[in-house]
Amino acid sequence: MCDTCGCTITAGNAHLAGAGRAAPAGTTVEVLKDLLAANDQVAQHNRAHFDEHGVLAINLMSSPGAGKTTLLEATIRSLRGRYRIAVIEGDLETDNDAARIRAQGVPAVQITTGTACHLDAHLVHRALHDLPLAGLDLLFIENVGNLVCPASFDLGQHRNVVLLCATEGDDKPAKYPVMFRAADLVVLSKADLLGVLEDFDPVRAEAALRALGRDTPLIRTASRRAPALAAWLAWLEEQLSAPRAIAPLRPLAGGVTVRA
Amino acid sequence: MHELSICQALIDEVAKIAASVDARTVGRITLEVGPLSGVEPELLARAFEVARTGTCAAEAQLSIAVPGIVVRCSDCDATSPAQANRLLCASCGGYRTRVLEGDGLKLRAVELDVPEAPPGPLH
């Protein structure tokens, strides 16, 4: 079980804290503090590093097995002659994915999180020390396979790309609104299987995505037998030449007033 | 998710505030947890009961407010309520909306027991 969500707390161990007394009367301090701010500050720091070196950073997220690493392998083969690319890989265990990326001839740093189910800005910051940022154009951060937690942690990236695999069902954007709302692009991966997956309707998937209140494009890719990457590569080229300004995932707020 | 680590961040923040006003104990802690924040209020409450043990917030009560989601439409400028996976404008049905309320995780207020100034010496 993830050791940060508290899902191991049960009726059996909740008694450890004991019953609380009624709150004593006293001073109320009004705060308006974003409790996820600590991660966001490190993320801003990472983003400043990327901007200093002119690197476009893309956070790639999806369920496990949706095809992130395979898409990256195919992308590197297509673009490595024209852009200097590196990858940060995130997994609980193994460096299998970083090894696959290095086999394509570009630098890869593996973060093994142990039990943490998502990457955060601190982990990425450490990994940056092992990358030649000054000599890069494009950095992919392949997040831990998970449609829930990664959405809440800004890593300092400029763009979020979420893969929705054809084998996963077309209602995933409705089931995981926080993740799909965070996407700047949704990639319908393994699209070559649509012919045999009769109940996946791309129109329904796009409607569920549109209901999340953004203009997020939905494009198809196939990375293996008959690679179809044109729309994906076109989107990447567009991002590489566009200005990098990005709004943070959450508005940052802070401030404390004391009222007697 | 990550309610336990969020509680740890919360208690660190509360401890800082308590220290800044020399408070002895922490009473009520008021949070606002938006439906799109990625945090589950019930898990947060349960995690808090464990995380507060042995801290300045050991006897604190947690109040969690869950605001409704409110969006503003970029097409017709209307402000309307919405659901987590249906963030459309209630007025024109448009999908180009911006979330005004409902995606934050905020510490709103902390009730503290602040010591009164000690009486001066009698002459």
Cross-chain residue pair B53–A16, CB shorter than 8 Å: yes
Q: CA A232, CA A159: separation in Å to the nearest integer?
A: 13
- How much of chain B, in percent, has pLDDT values that exceed 70? 93
Q: Which tens digit of pLDDT belongs to each residue from A58-114?
A: 999 999 999 999 999 999 999 999 999 999 999 999 999 999 999 999 999 999 998
Q: Which residues in chain B have their CB less than 8 angstroms from residue A35's CB?
A: 6, 9-10, 13, 31, 105-107
How many domains does chain B divide into?
A: 1
- Asked whether residue A255 carries a pLDDT value surpassing 50, the answer given is no
Residue A185 main-chain phi, psi, to 5 deg: -155, 135
Q: Return all residues near A215 (Cβ < 8 A) that are at least 6 apart.
A: B95, B96
Q: How far is B123 from chain A (nearest CA, A)?
A: 30
Q: Is B89 part of any domain?
A: no
Q: Is B32 part of any domain?
A: yes
Classify residue A16 by burial, with Cβ atoms within 10 Å: 0-12, 13-18, 19+: exposed
Q: Which of A13, A31, A35, A120 to mutate to test the interface with B (most CBs of B within 10 A)?
A: A35
3-state secondary structure A132-178: CHHHCCEEEEECCCCCCHHHHCCCCCCEEEEEEEHHHCCCHHHHCHH
- Angle, helices A37-52 vs A121-128, to 10°: value is 30
- Asked whether residue B119 carries a pLDDT value surpassing 90, the answer given is no
pLDDT band at A4 (very low <50, low <70, confident <90, very high): low
Q: Which of A257, A223, A226, A258 is nearest to A104 (CA)?
A: A223
pLDDT at A116: 86
- Asked whether residue A257 carries a pLDDT value surpassing 50, the answer given is no
Q: Is B107 part of any domain?
A: yes
Q: Which residues in chain B have their CB less than 8 angstroms from residue A26's CB?
A: 23, 27, 111-114
pLDDT at A115: 83
Q: State the CATH number of the domain containing residue B56.
A: 3.30.2320.50
Q: How far is A62 from chain B (nearest CA, A)?
A: 16
Q: CA A164, CA A139: separation in Å to the nearest integer?
A: 21
B28: containing domain: 3-67+102-113
Cross-chain residue pair B111–A9, CB shorter than 8 Å: no
Give the predicted TM-score (pTM) of the model: 0.84
Q: Which residues in chain B have their CB less than 8 angstroms from residue A27's CB?
A: 21, 23, 111-114
Q: Which tens digit of pLDDT belongs to each residue from B12-27?
A: 999 999 999 888 889 9
Q: Is B121 part of any domain?
A: no
Q: CA A167, CA A48: separation in Å to the nearest integer?
A: 37
Q: Is B50 part of any domain?
A: yes
Q: Is B85 part of any domain?
A: no
Cross-chain residue pair A208–B85, CB shorter than 8 Å: yes
Q: Is B90 part of any domain?
A: no
Q: CA B21, CA B32: separation in Å to the nearest integer?
A: 23
pLDDT at B9: 87
Structural domains of chain A sorted by starting position, each given as residue range(s) with its CATH number in brackets? 53-241 (3.40.50.300)
Q: CA B51, CA B10: separation in Å to the nearest integer?
A: 10
CA closest to A149 among chain B residues: B1
Q: Is B81 part of any domain?
A: no
pLDDT band at A251 (very low <50, low <70, confident <90, very high): very low
Instruction: Name residue A108's beta-bridge partners.
Output: A87
- Asked whether residue A10 carries a pLDDT value surpassing 80, the answer given is no
